Amino acid sequence: MSDFKKPKTTAEYEANFPQLKPLMDANMAYYESSRCLFCYDAPCVKACPTSIDIPLFIKQIHTENLTGAAKTIYSANFFGHTCGKVCPTEVLCEGACVYNEQDVKPIEIGRLQSHATSDTIRKDKSIFKKADANGKSVAVVGAGPAGIACASELATLGYKVDIYEAKAQPSGLAIHGTAPYKITNQDVIDEVKYLQKQLGFKIIYNKNIDTRRELNTLESKYDAIFLGIGLGDTRSTGTPGEELENCIGATEFIEQLKLDPLSVTIGKKVVVIGGGNTAMDAASESARLGADVTLIYRRSKESKGAYEFEYDLAKSVGVKALFSTNVTEIIGDQKVVQLKCVKTQSTDGKLKNIDGSEFTIECDFLIRATGQVKQKDFLDLAGLEYDKRGKVKVDSDSGQCSNPQYFAGGDAVNGGAEVVNACAEGKSAAQGIHSYLLGKQS
């Protein structure tokens, strides 16, 4: 059982979801930054999808040049603040820190990064250089990390950029999908506002692009179109009973939690199906809402997709796990009451249910973290090629799609990765767009 009670007030909610990487104060940052060895050809930089010059910004923090540190960070990654908090640093920069090689605690790079960026955001320091307007305009579909990174880079190059966003808030999964103990919504929104104020791109909210007519308008009105459309709803696995009440997709569950945490529905005995990072998040979150949580994954513990530290985090709040277990049926009249399960066995990579190992478990709330669907309908509408798994086909350097006016990046291209990957892809696609439009000009 978890030690948490369902939060009834914002204060209780915040107490149940304390920040994993709280901001450092100046003193902590001073001492932590002093430890950096300033490695040559530093492994942390190589491990960062956006190649932030980490030793440089740490040195800048140490010499009390926080604005310089923020410039270093933002010149590589427009979501510098968000990434400092939500990146899986344990497997990226901090995991690559050479201190690990001698069993010394790696530098807390993520927290140092947020320390510098929070200072410039709070003080609203102007740090970006913008080229003169070049008279060209680009439409961005989706105000997630990929879209905003692309728009920001384009703005620095002198483009007029309009972002069309289906939801009411910017930054996509950075708000709607990241666990509340990693970053607050306000932090994410503040960073987008900070970028927008200096770079001047426009975001049109609550505007879903889903008709051919709308695409025609974009194609004629803009010189290029960037798609940062992400993924869709949670994928169905076809398990009987998925339609029952109290059976919800993880993406939808987390979005509700992030947007209105006190009104979110949760059960007493929650089961989360899945073995990825989203499953771990949903399980942790349910436990922090006071539920007794069991994670069920059809494959073995070793083959789960989640990072080890995410699994540890879930375990630390009381989540139990059943590996090599398949949920074959969701039972209940209107609401879920029980799950039929069976143990599984993997032979030569093929998963088989073990006959005779069937059992049932009680469950009054089921969260399916079984992946998100791809946006094939939209891609068909736009007439763009995608692979057999539904990922948009792009040129890996420029992000250009099969229709040269279109570019894409983020989850829709990589199939679902980290915020930092989306930032890297959005930014490099902006450069792709720039080269493409320069080429057309000459």
Partner 1 sequence: MADLRANLAGITSPNPFWLASAPPTNSGYQIMKAFDAGWGGAVWKTMGVPVVNVSSRYGAVNYRDTKMMGFNNIELITDRPLSDNLREIEEVKKYFPDHAVIASLMVQTREEWHQIIKDVENAGADGIELNFGCPHGMCERGMGSAVGQEPNVLQTITTWAKEVAKVPVIVKLTPNITDITEPARAAAAGGADAISLINTVQSIVNVDLDTFAPNPSVDGKSTHGGYCGPAVKPIALNMIKSCAQDRDVNIPISGIGGIETWRDATEHMLLGASNVQVCTAAMHYGFGIVREMKAGLEDYMDSKGFEKLDDLIGKSVPKVEPWEHLNLNYKIIAEIDSSKCIGCQLCYIACEDGAHQAIELSEVDGERTPHIIEENCVGCNLCSLVCPVEECITMVDVTKNKTHESWSDYINNGKAPTTFDDDRAGGKHHWVPEPKDALKKRK
Interface with partner 1 (CB under 8 A): 30-31, 34-35, 37-41, 43, 62, 98-99, 101-102
Report, in Å, the least distance between residue 202 CB and partner 1.
Answer: 36
Q: How far is CA 205 from CA 112, 168, 171, 351, in A?
A: 32, 5, 11, 44
CB of 34 to partner 1, least distance (A): 4
Residue 62 or 160: the one with the smaller Cβ distance to partner 1 is 62
Kindly state the smallest distance separating residue 43's Cβ from partner 1, in Å. 7
Closest approach of partner 1 to the CB of residue 20, in Å: 25
Measured between alpha carbons, how far is 433 from 191 in angstroms, rounded to an integer? 24
CA dist., res. 78 & res. 146, Å (int): 10
Least distance to partner 1 from the beta carbon of 149, Å? 23
Q: Which is nearer to partner 1, 97 or 369 (CB)?
A: 97
Please name which of 237, 389, 426 lies closest in space to residue 326, comparing C-alpha atoms: 237
Q: How far apart are CA 220 and CA 29, in angstroms?
A: 50
CA 357 to chain CA centroid, nearest Å: 37
How far from the centroid of its chain's Cα atoms is residue 224's Cα? 25
Task: Supply the minimum distance, in Å, between the C-beta of residue 10 and partner 1.
Answer: 38
- Name the residue nearer to partner 1 (CB basis): 32 or 242: 32
Q: Nearest distance from residue 305's CB to partner 1, in Å?
A: 24
From the CB of 38, what's the least distance to partner 1, in Å? Answer: 7
CB nearer to partner 1: pick between 14 and 90: 90
Q: Which residues pair with 327 in a beta bridge?
A: 341
Nearer to partner 1, 59 or 176 (CB): 59
Q: Give min distance, CB of 400 to partner 1, in A.
A: 26
Pairwise CA distance, residues 377 & 382, whole Å: 9
Q: How far is CA 221 from CA 225, 227, 410, 420, in A?
A: 10, 16, 24, 30
Q: Which is nearer to partner 1, 102 or 263 (CB)?
A: 102
Specify the residue, 34 or 403, whose C-beta has the smaller distance to partner 1.
34
Minimum distance from residue 433 beta carbon to partner 1 (Å): 25
- Which residues 6+ apart lie within 8 Å of 206 measured at CB? 165, 166, 167, 168
Closer of 51 and 396 to partner 1 (Cβ):
51
Q: Which phi and psi angles does 440 have, rounded to 5°?
A: -65, -35
Beta strand residue intervals within 228-337, DSSP E:
247-249, 269-273, 292-296, 320-322, 325-331
Element containing residue 337 per DSSP (H, E): none
203, containing H or E segment: strand 202-204
* Closest to 323 measured CA to CA, from 375, 364, 279: 279
Give the CA-trace dihedral at 307, 313, 314, 316, to 10 degrees: 140
52: left (phi over 0), alpha (psi -120 to 50) or beta: beta
> Which amino acid belongs to residue 340?
K
**CA distance linking residue 322 with residue 300, whole number of Å:** 9
Q: What pairs with residue 386 in β-bridges?
A: 392
Residue type present at position 202: K
> Which of 93, 188 has the CB closer to partner 1?
93
Q: Is the Cα torsion angle 232, 233, 238, 243 positive or negative in sign?
A: negative
Least Å distance, CB 32 to partner 1, is 9
